[in-house]
Amino acid sequence: MSEVMTSRVVTSNASSTVLDAARLMVEKNIGSVIITKDGRLEGILTERDLLDAVGQGKDVGSMRVSELMTGKVVSVKSNTSVVEAAKKMVLHKFRRLPVVDHGILVGIVTASDLTFDMNSPTINSSVSDYMTRDVCTASLDAPILEALKKMVDRKIGAVVVLDGDAVLGILAERDVVRLVVQRKNLSGLKVKDVFSPELITVEPGTQISHACHLMYYYGIQRFPVVDAEGRLQGIISERDMIEAMFYEGKKD
């Protein structure tokens, strides 16, 4: 695990404000902040935690990290194998795992870190084998609160933004974190005011190995899957990639 983990972990403490933790996520372009005390793991605050709170109408700007973080955190040791870490991610549906040795935080490993270390070029499956076909979508003019409620209710990290049948972009957890930092009043916002229009798509027949390469190269967490005419067919995430790596690897 030590060869793939990130050892320079962005941390905060439980008494910090959620707003300060969100600023760290935006500044560092990361999806979580690890909560420590005297170097020991106390919890984790993720984009999903912020999304759930905002989607439920909570005023996160007035909250402390201790009120929102997850305290019981699944972790791995630095000598844990990549396959075992992938198994934990698949079983618990996580995208990241703190790395802890003798009670001290020494790093973090993410789904992106693992996909490139699990011999993805040997995986022959295609995106259609692992993508989610029931995609949650939103129109440009949909109220942002309506889109966030969909994400919270379905426990998903993004909705695909459509204009008719045309795929225009994604509204994701990271966009919500930016709203938190900007202290935006969400009641008057629409999806078109917030979503990310920069879009990379893949087709259902794309090999998992190539999709992994694109995800790693562009540093993004999910792709809409479209057919040759650009019509939405599904969505595939980095966690889906880990499932592909893990289950295909077990066949060998």
pLDDT digits (tens, 9 = 90+) for 84-127: 888 888 888 888 999 999 989 999 998 878 776 655 666 778 99
Kindly compute the dihedral angle of the four CA atoms of residues 168, 142, 174, 203, in this order, to the nearest 10 degrees.
Answer: -30
Q: Name the phi and psi angles at 188, rounded to 5.
A: -100, 0
Length of the chain in terms of residues written: 252
Residue 47: give the domain boundaries: 11-110
Helix (H) or strand (E) holding 238: helix 238-249
pLDDT for the residue numbered 117: 62
In a domain, 2, yes or no: no
Whether residue 158 sits in one domain with residue 90: no
Provide the number of structural domains found in the chain.
2
Q: Is residue 37 part of a domain?
A: yes
Could you tell me if 172 and 213 lie in one domain? yes
Query: Is residue 19 located within the same domain as residue 58?
Result: yes
The answer to whether residues 25 and 75 belong to one domain is yes
Q: 177: how many CB neighbours lie within 10 A of its CB? A: 25
> Which residue in this structure is represented by tokens 């084998």?
129
pTM of structure: 0.87
- 4: in domain: no
Q: What is the pLDDT of residues 159-218, one digit of tens each?
A: 999 998 899 999 999 999 999 899 888 888 999 999 988 789 999 999 988 888 888 788
Which of the listed residues 84, 110, 136 is the one where a domain comes to its end? Answer: 110
